[in-house]
Structure formats: structure tokens, C-alpha cells
Amino acid sequence: MKIIDLLKNEKVCISCELFPPKAGTELQNALNIVSDIAEVGPHFMSVTYGAGGTSVGQTVAIARAIEASGRPALAHLTCIDADEAKIDGVLAQMREGGAMTESEKERYGKSKMIRYVSGINRPIYPIAFVKYKPAIGISSAVCCYSPSGRKKIHENLELNMALFTALRKALPDGHSMEYADCRLSLLSAQKCKCAISGEEFMKPDDVVCYMKVPKELGGYEQYKNLVLFHRRYLPLLVSKDEQLLKKNCKSLAVTKKQLTKINDLRAAAKLAAI
């Protein structure tokens, strides 16, 4: 877990700070202290940069030891008496430490075959854990440059063309062209189905293009802020009357899964859950 995620948690976060030994003194004692503190179980450990950057090498070594102990490390970095090249060099040393990034941990962390390049401890990825996805086979006949190619694109769409055409011709009042265009894109992406119940839309009047974050809360008429669902569910997304909401849920036989989707949309609009 990243340190920023630990700090966002409501629970008390405990950390320990270490001071690296001066240049030319014994480092091993400091590394032993890292192990002792790690056993106590702080959420993360920080290590200072040394006065005026005099112990930068020790800072990097201790930061690596902290990460190796299983605790997140927060290494200090100062610009005192340092030019851009020196700072870049220190950052490179920290990045090239034996501790893997979160992405590397996710992909290869479970492997016992992880090895590191001597000197810089750069991880060597185990071949057995390297995965790939097969390329998507797309026919060259499907394209947007010819009438026959465009026809194949439309044939591959799971789309009710009558419904699509009706919505395309019926421009929504009081909304932008981007809103109208996104409504058609969503109809295709959702395969003409309600985002709440999964049922197919039968006629244009059934379709509600809903803004997840309303305009009054700073929402925009953009694709990522829009969703299509059946008109019968609209009262559940706008009403604040608890009795009416419960009555509508009962009459519509709303399932637990549907209610979760509805409450997620209500939360985006700053409305209380049902």
C-alpha cells in the first residue's frame, strides 16, 4: 500500500524516522536498527537526507533496507548544495533499488524466481510470470473507407437500428450536441440495454440519458458522466421522499444488485442511499 493511502485512512497511522550515519561510519548498525523497528510494525518508515546532503548514499541504502523489510519507505531529498545532475542521480539510485514498484509487485510479486542485477538491484522479471494477450483478429474488409466496409461495421453492432435512428432524429431539448452524440454512443456501448436492469429498450421514450453528476454540482455533458437506463427508474434517482422511494422499489421489484447500482448513482448526485 502506498503511503498516501495509509494517510487517507481514518485509523491512526504510526511512522518512525531514521537518521543515517555520517559518511565514513558503520552502516550495518543502522541496517540492524531498521530490522528491529520493522518488527515493531510501524505503518511506514522515513529516513532523512543528512545535514546538507552529506550522507546521501547512506539514505538510499537505508531506504532500500526499509522496503526490503516489507515497510514502505519515505526517503528525504534536499536540493542544498546539489545541481540538477546530482538530484537526478539520487532519484535514479532510489528508483533502481531492490524494492519493486506497485505495478511490478502486482505482476511478479508472487514469484519466487525474482532476481536482481548485482550492484543496482534492478529486478529481473521471471519468464514464467510474463503474460501476453493474443492479438485481436480484425478483418481488413471491416473499415470506414468504403460502403461495403462501413456496412460490415454496422452488421457487427448489436444494435436496434430502428431505435438508434429514432433517437438520432429526436434531438434532446436544452442539451448540447455532445450530449446527443454521447447518447447514441452509449446506446451502442450498452447494446440497447438498461444500465440498471439489463433489459432491452423497446421504444425511444423508454430511454433516459442521465447525468451522474448534475450540472449544479459541476457535472458536464460528457460520455463518462452519462448513463442510459429505463424511464421507470428515474423517480428512484431524483426523489428524496423515503416513503415514496420504498414504495417505488417494491412496485418495481428492485433486486439487491439493481439497488446497488441505483445507490451508486444517487451517491454521485449527493443524494442519500435508499
pLDDT at residue 272, as a whole number: 92
Digit-coded pLDDT (tens) for 180-224: 999 999 999 999 999 999 999 999 999 999 999 999 999 999 999
- Lowest model confidence (mean pLDDT) among 39-48, 114-123, 234-243: 114-123
Residue with grid cell 451502442, as numbered in its chain = 188
- The percentage of residues in the chain with a pLDDT greater than 90, rounded to a whole number, is 38
| Residue 119 in this model has a pLDDT that exceeds 50 | no
Digit-coded pLDDT (tens) for 12-65: 888 888 888 776 567 778 888 888 888 888 888 888 876 555 556 677 778 878
Beta strand residue intervals within 93-186, DSSP E: 115-116, 123-124
Q: In what order do the strands lie in the sheet with 15-18?
A: 15-18, 44-47, 73-75
End-to-end CA distance of the chain: 33
Q: Are strands 123-124 and 115-116 parallel, antiparallel or unpaired?
A: antiparallel
**In this structure, what are the phi and psi dihedrals at residue 41, rounded to the nearest 5 degrees?**
95, 40
CA distance 22 to 161: 74
**Listed residue (64, 6, 10) closest to 34, CA to CA:** 64
pTM to 2 decimal places: 0.47
**Listed residue (235, 243, 247, 245) closest to 210, CA to CA:** 235
Q: Reduced to 3 states, what is the DSSP secondary structure of residue 111?
A: coil
What are the beta bridge partners of residue 200?
Answer: 193
Per-residue cell: 52: 546538507
